[in-house]
Amino acid sequence: MDESYDVIVLGTGLTECILSGLLSVEGKKVLHMDRNDYYGGESASLNLTQLYRKFRPDQQPPSQFGRDRDWNVDLIPKFAMASGEFTNILYHTDVTRYLEFRQIAGSYVYRDGRISKVPSNQTEAVSSPLMGIFEKRRAKKFFEFVQGYDFNNPATHQGLDLNTVPMTEVYKKFGLEPGTQDFVGHALALHLDDSYMTQPAKETYERICLYMNSMARYGKSPYIYPLYGLGELPQGFARLSAIYGGTYMLNKKVDELVYEDGKIVGVKSEGEVAKTKAVIGDPSYFPDKVKKTGQVVRAICILNHPIPNTADADSIQIVIPQKQVNRGHDIYIAAVSYAHNVAAKDYWTAIVSTIVETSDPEKELQPAMALLGPIAEKFISVSDLYEPVADGRADGVYITKSYDATSHFETTCQDVKDVYKRVTGNDLKVEGKVKKQEEGGAGAE
């Protein structure tokens, strides 16, 4: 340990592991430490025994749930957009060689008390039960506009320059109802709130295109998910880092961060100091450098049936747009099953999450819980959300954000890109594939 590193990474949550993987690939000398004896930190996947130990230490898992090793329950469920930035990072770094991904069978949205598939093009809009007959026609025109839009060809603009007009103008032009705006903004464009409405429409347009392109990739939904659960991801990036000379140490307590003239110069652990120019880590390692921004409530639910009204989907994301249930934050359901090797045969896990708004967080999940049918077992947790108070450029300590309530990777990727830029000074570029044979050098393909 008495060595010198370019970067020391603290915590093996997914965000930290992606960063250490990316930096290792670029030739940085990386040391990665975690105080736990397992990978994943807050974003770990647990087997049944570990799950009960965490939430019900006084209970054994009931035998009806079958073999321990069949379960990999994500504490923080996330799906990846098939054509999104996260998938690009996986291909770019070649982490895909350690993992197998499968598509998520459905992407649904809640409107007027029922759930239905999120329509993603004009054909689907016309057949969607989410809209009445006249609204279907308006939505069809909207989707045709989005698909035909070309920034370089004003003939496709229908008088709307998406670089400048706000999204409200686009909705107005096509006469879309508030309930349709809800699913376009929250289930297709995956916005977290409605502030996008008054912003230039370009970003929303790009997000809708990302959804459509991801959808076109596999067909059933825009989302993919790794077999055996998300816990595979930190380990995949750890193996990647190791190939490029990175060092991983689990079960390693951090005693002290060592500074000189206000700049980080090392991390002390078990009496030894590892020297470094920069430290990256999750908020739990820096209690005095982060602020609490809110709380997220999650319910991990075990079901012995698919979620009702989802055509027996083996896996699904359901978004409940905030306004549909008079809230200020969306509620997300991410369900996976034995089809992804994360539960025993004929079992599903559905994780429901949202940002806490009241003093009774569990009750806030009710509109989502009511969609699940009978629940065999549930584990509720409320976690604090933290983010750094400073960008890290002054002291060389770069802190990631806690995982929010979303059930997709878009915000996590945003954080990866943000920290990457703060640490390296460059924008993250993930084009092409870097490849390294065990004996050879790195190069772009």
List residues binding ligand NAG (CB under 6 A): 120-124, 215, 219
Residue 89 Cβ, how far from ligand NAG at the closest point, in Å?
A: 24
Instruction: Locate 28 and state its tokens.
Output: 């940085």
Residue whose CB is less far from ligand NAG, 124 or 395: 124
Q: Which residues contact 405 (CB under 8 A, 6 or more apart)?
A: 296, 297, 298, 329, 330, 331, 332, 353, 354, 355
- Tell me the chain's radius of gyration from C-alpha atoms: 23
Residue 218 Cβ, how far from ligand NAG at the closest point, in Å?
A: 9
Q: Which residues contact 352 (CB under 8 A, 6 or more apart)?
A: 298, 299, 301, 331, 332, 333, 365, 368, 369, 372
Residue whose CB is less far from ligand NAG, 43 or 122: 122
Question: Contact, 405 vs 355, CB < 8 A?
Answer: yes
Residue 124 Cβ, how far from ligand NAG at the closest point, in Å?
A: 5
Q: How far is CA 80 from CA 104, 122, 397, in A?
A: 9, 24, 28
Where b means 16+ CB within 10 Å and e means fewer, 134-173 reads: ebbbbbbbbbebbeebeeeeeeeeeebebeebbbebbbeb
Instruction: Locate 427 and state its tokens.
Output: 């924008």
Question: Contact, 90 vs 234, CB < 8 A?
Answer: no
Residue 215 Cβ, how far from ligand NAG at the closest point, in Å?
A: 5
* Strands (E) located in 217-313: 223-226, 247-249, 256-260, 263-269, 272-281, 290-303
Residue 119 Cβ, how far from ligand NAG at the closest point, in Å?
A: 8
Residue 104 Cβ, how far from ligand NAG at the closest point, in Å?
A: 13
Residue whose CB is less far from ligand NAG, 310 or 353: 310
**How big, in percent rounded to 5, are the helix, strand and coil portions of the chain?**
35, 25, 40
Residue whose CB is less far from ligand NAG, 317 or 412: 317
Residue whose CB is less far from ligand NAG, 95 or 313: 313
Residue nearest to ligand NAG (CB): 121
Instruction: Locate 265 and state its tokens.
Output: 């110069």
The one-letter amino acid at 290: V
Residue 81 Cβ, how far from ligand NAG at the closest point, in Å?
A: 14
The one-letter amino acid at 44: A
Residue 217 Cβ, how far from ligand NAG at the closest point, in Å?
A: 9
Residue 127 Cβ, how far from ligand NAG at the closest point, in Å?
A: 10
Residue whose CB is less far from ligand NAG, 32 or 138: 138
Residue whose CB is less far from ligand NAG, 222 or 281: 222
Residue whose CB is less far from ligand NAG, 60 or 123: 123
Residue with tokens 């997300």: 332
Residue whose CB is less far from ligand NAG, 300 or 313: 313
